[in-house]
Amino acid sequence: MGDEIHSAIDFYNRHPITAGIVLAKLQQARGHLDDLKPDELLAHDQDHYGGTGATDALARLAHIGAGTHVADFCAGLGASARYLAHRYGADVTGIELTPARVAGAAELTRRVGLQERVRVIEGDVTRVPLADASMDAVISQEAFLHVPDNARVLAEAHRVLKPGGRIAFTTWIAARPLSDADRDLMRRGMAVASLHSLDEFGDLLHRAGFTLLSTEDLTAEWAEILRQRLAMYRKLRGEAEAAGTPAGHDAFYESYVRFVDLVTSADLGGGRFAAVKT
């Protein structure tokens, strides 16, 4: 039971990508950490399905460009926030629940000199610490599954957006309800707190006051990405076991294997959504 996940904070405190690990890899590759450039982080801090291409898709949907004020809900280590600031010239405020990741985001952002245009602040996306109508865009990537009340999250996005502002996000979707066993496994292994179908997310956006612009089913694309990731995780676990070192978080691994099965069978999958505040 000690290996189980009890909250999103618990999950991300055990996440295999941390600021310390990113900096250690860069130290090993470069020999020092002086004068780091934003592009040098990309090989290490981008953990979203589809990498920077997935963030580019959200930037296009949300009309993000130079000077755009963006809120990144569930920002993690700030990888997307830094990317949007560096590549698009946006000013980005990330909202992140896990204190260790807020601190890690600040360290990585400072190291690459983007602290004037990127800040990740500790906060709950169901009670966002931003003023009404203060943002041009809201984005999020593969995070709303950790939040029990997605209706409240979308209501907060609507509140902080200016009229005409856009939300664009990706998250897990469920084609049909999970079995009790699968739902419990996803909770224990990956802190999954809520799942909705593609159509249900469209309804949630409408009820929050948005006009839906587009929905995309990414399940087939994600299935291939996830199969490749699972092969990598299996290789790393095998190497760790052969070396007699800890093989990682067992509950996460068990749930991840099942997650890949569920995405392959299209019971679970991914969705990309865009909507505008009118």
Average pLDDT over residues 36-54: 93
Of the chain, the percentage scoring pLDDT greater than 90 comes to 82
Tokens of 260: 């890949």
- What does the angle CA 97 – CA 216 – CA 63 come to, to the nearest 5 degrees? 65
Residue 232 resides in a domain: no
Where are any strands of DSSP class E within the chain?
Answer: 69-73, 91-96, 118-122, 135-141, 161-174, 210-217, 268-277
Average pLDDT value over all residues in the chain: 93
Please write the tens of the pLDDT for every residue from 97-148. Answer: 999 999 999 999 999 999 999 999 999 999 999 999 999 999 999 999 999 9
* Residue 197 located in a structural domain: yes
Q: Which domain holds residue 214?
A: 8-178+191-219+266-277
Q: How far apart are CA 170 and CA 140, in angstroms?
A: 6
Compare 50 and 1 and report the one with higher pLDDT.
50
**Where residue 216 falls among pLDDT bands split at 50, 70, 90?**
very high
CA 252 – CA 255 distance, rounded (Å):
5
- What would the two tokens of residue 157 be? 């996005």
Higher-confidence position of 237 and 230:
230
Q: Which amino acid, 180?
A: D
Quickly tell me which residue has 């009890």 as its tokens. 6
Read off the CATH number of the domain in which 67 is found.
3.40.50.150
Q: Examine residue 184 and state whether it is found in any structural domain, yes or no.
A: no
- Top-confidence residue, 9 or 128: 128
Q: Considering the domain boundaries, does residue 27 fall inside one?
A: yes
Torsion region of 140: left, alpha or beta (phi above 0 gives left; psi -120 to 50 gives alpha): beta
Whether 248 has a pLDDT exceeding 70, the answer reads no
Q: Domains in the chain: how many in total?
A: 1
Q: Which residues contact 8 (CB under 8 A, 6 or more apart)?
A: 97, 98, 146, 147, 191, 193
Nearest Cα to 159, choosing from 135, 124, 140?
Answer: 135
Looking at the domain assignment, is residue 243 inside a domain?
A: no
Cα angle 167, 150, 187; round to 5: 125
Say if 229 falls within a structural domain. no
- Alpha-carbon span 80 to 160, nearest angstrom: 19
| Domain membership flag for residue 89 | yes
Asked whether residue 125 is domain-assigned, the answer is yes
